[in-house]
Structure 1
Amino acid sequence: MGPSDLEEIISDIQPCESASVLVGPGDDAGIYLLNDTAIVETVDVITPVVNDPFTFGAISANNSLSDVYAMGGKPISALAIAGFSSCDYESSVFKEILRGAVHSLNRAGAILIGGHSFEDAELKFGLSVTGVVNREKILRVSGAEEGDIIVITKPIGIGILTTSLKGEKLTDADLKTAIGWMLTLNDKASKLALKADATACTDITGFGLLGHAYNMVKDSDIDFEITMANVPVLEHVHEMIDSGMIAEGAYNNLKFFAEKVEFSSYITEEDRLLLSDPQTSGGLLITLKEENLKVFEESDIFFSVIGRVIKGSGRIVVK
């Protein structure tokens, strides 16, 4: 399914017509108004991307927390969701995963209050996260305006690197930088987006840069014009692409979004797959007025301006 297919199915079954629903299906998270408090609700589950259980738990928690930050919110609590085979994994492995998740939650100022596990042949872990947000300062996936610049807050290529780890082309030590990025919370980037009066925001995860960028422009009268040379890429990524270490999800994403993206003739197939590479705990993709970029320039966080919003018909242009 595409990035919002499930949300559209949910909307068909139960339209969110309540006045208490501030943001329904189709964005990074749902927002519900309870009395005077705007509550952010999200859930995400992933399979292991590294070998160390503690690190996997911390990365998975970051990945789940990211949707709250993409809405401009602050996480407050979480429920753990775990699928694993009791015949294949010792309870100590699961305990380390939980310890890693709690470590990330502590850094985010949130707390683990429960969870649920189930038998599964493939190890899976994630969180259902609850947060709060200022109802007057909600970041949304749509809202970008012609003339805005496009900012990304983490380099891409994580899916290629974790695929290379599984294929034993790289070691955990080779992924040190990538792991550092996956362990980086999007809290600072979210606060800066709010301070810069961002017009739209999302986090980059399983549908890659192209998929999440398309979700920001679909059904609109704007396009995103992305400059490939300005897209930051993690170390080892290009050499792993040359070795054929590309996640199946990248091929699926590129196929799904092929008719929604216009590539310049000199953008290679390898670069197209890189832009489609599924990310775990990726950065935020933000649109804002160019004069407000100083908010990021005066900060200490990583960012790159990768393009501009132009008049169009809901497409992505890569040049």
Structure 2
Amino acid sequence: MPPIIDPNVLTATSSRDDAAVYRIAPDRALVATVDFFTPIVDDPSDYGAIAAANAVSDVYAVGARPLFALGITAFPREKLSTGLLEKIVAGGAKKMAEAGIAVVGGHSVDDPEPKFGYAVIGEVHPDRIVAHAGARAGDVLFLTKPLGSGLVATAIKRGLCPPALQREAVEVMSMLNRRASEAMLEAGATAATDVTGYGLIGHLSNLTGGADIEMRAVPFLDGVRDLAQRNLFPAGSRRNHDAFRNQVDWGGLPELDQLMLCDAQTSGGILAAIPPENAAAFEGALASSPYPAVRIGTINGHGSIRIRA
């Protein structure tokens, strides 16, 4: 990518933040993001809802308010009569309505492999952007959804996922990060990201400052360890591990647990750095959530990631 010299570009690819932010006035900035993927669950309505929650999550991750969305669809023309596409689109539109925004248009192409997602536009005050940089030593790291959706998606594709675990994973992936975003803003979050394709370790590496993580505190979906023991990691999780394994002090953690921390997620939770004096308030704000915020570690200020077994 060529260097960006426009001073109104506040975040872009070079900073690896979750969404692009462009200032349009001293007190207003537009937020833009795009995300789409192939089906990861069997039910078309669930697929649409997960795609919507995943796309809008990047807006929430930078502390912004979503305004509207544009749909992105790839679908085989000869399968239009099946009604599957209508269910995918309806599931996505319903989730966007839950987020309080309209799908105002979009684009579709004929493609033998279905793909679905959205471009989402939001708004944020330029001084209230929650970026990857800004965390301070001692800040408490919270995760607002359990991990394991990559393992579940692979198990579903192979017909090996227990039905109860599949239902739970769908609930996790389709839950909006809106409430977590509002809570982190109220608690004065110093940095944040959402945990998606790079796994917890990959997204943690994007936050400046380094971190000490307690493995025993990290939340996982009930039953995903069994999937991990059956070697149902998707290829993306293994690529994540290959990319970051030599950059992390694993503290003697077994490779299975390392891979679980690198599991590629879809529509994961918010990973937020919260000042210690506000940590209890952040926990309290999400205490009644289906997936309360979990303390998983602290920013160490050394720039390295260290895992304590």
What TM-score bracket applies, with the shorter chain setting the length?
Answer: over 0.9
Post-superposition CA distance 1:196-245 (Å, at most 9, x none): 1111000000000000000113xxxx321111000001011011111221
> Which of 28, 33, 36 lines up with 2:23 in the alignment?
33
Alignment of 1:35-74 (within 5 A): 35=25, 36-74=27-65
Matched letter for residue 268 of structure 1: P
For residue 315 of structure 1, report the CA deviation from its aligned partner. 2.5
Would the alpha carbon gap of residues 255 and 89 (structure 1) be closer, same or farther in structure 2, given more than 3 Å must change? farther
Deviates more, 1:172-181 or 1:225-234: 172-181
Q: Does 1:122 align with 2:116?
A: no
Deviates more, 1:149-158 or 1:297-306: 297-306
Q: Does 1:167 align with 2:158?
A: yes
What is residue 279 of structure 1 aligned with on the other side?
A: 265
Matched letter for residue 18 of structure 1: D
Q: Pairwise CA RMSD of aligned residues?
A: 1.4
For residue 296 of structure 1, report the CA deviation from its aligned partner. 2.0
For residue 258 of structure 1, report the CA deviation from its aligned partner. 1.6
CA–CA distance in structure 2, aligned partners of residues 24 and 159 of structure 1: 27
Structure 1: 5+ residue runs without aligned partners? 1-9
Aligned pairs, number: 301
SS of equivalent residue, structure 1 residue 44? strand
> Which of 296, 300, 303 lines up with 1:310 in the alignment?
300
CA–CA distance in structure 2, aligned partners of residues 169 and 131 of structure 1: 38
SS of equivalent residue, structure 1 residue 139? coil
Asked if the contact 2:193–2:272 (Cα under 8 Å) also holds between the matched residues in 1, the reply is yes
Q: Does 1:82 align with 2:73?
A: yes
Asked if the contact 1:149–1:290 (Cα under 8 Å) also holds between the matched residues in 2, the reply is yes
SS of equivalent residue, structure 1 residue 72? coil
SS of equivalent residue, structure 2 residue 159? coil
Identity of aligned residues (%): 37
Matched letter for residue 211 of structure 1: G
What is residue 6 of structure 2 aligned with on the other side?
A: 18
Alignment of 1:244-259 (within 5 A): 244-259=231-246
Asked if the contact 2:283–2:294 (Cα under 8 Å) also holds between the matched residues in 1, the reply is no
Asked if the contact 1:157–1:274 (Cα under 8 Å) also holds between the matched residues in 2, the reply is yes
Matched letter for residue 279 of structure 1: Q
For residue 114 of structure 1, report the CA deviation from its aligned partner. 0.7
Post-superposition CA distance 1:51-104 (Å, at most 9, x none): 111110010000000000001011111111111222355462111111011111
TM-score by length of 2: 0.94
Post-superposition CA distance 1:84-130 (Å, at most 9, x none): 22235546211111101111110111110111112223211110000
What is residue 280 of structure 2 aligned with on the other side?
A: 294
Matched letter for residue 276 of structure 1: C
Asked if the contact 2:165–2:222 (Cα under 8 Å) also holds between the matched residues in 1, the reply is no
Asked if the contact 2:61–2:181 (Cα under 8 Å) also holds between the matched residues in 1, the reply is yes
Matched letter for residue 281 of structure 2: V
Structure 1 stretches of at least 4 aligned residues deviating more than 6 Å after TM superposition: none
CA–CA distance in structure 2, aligned partners of residues 198 and 212 of structure 1: 16
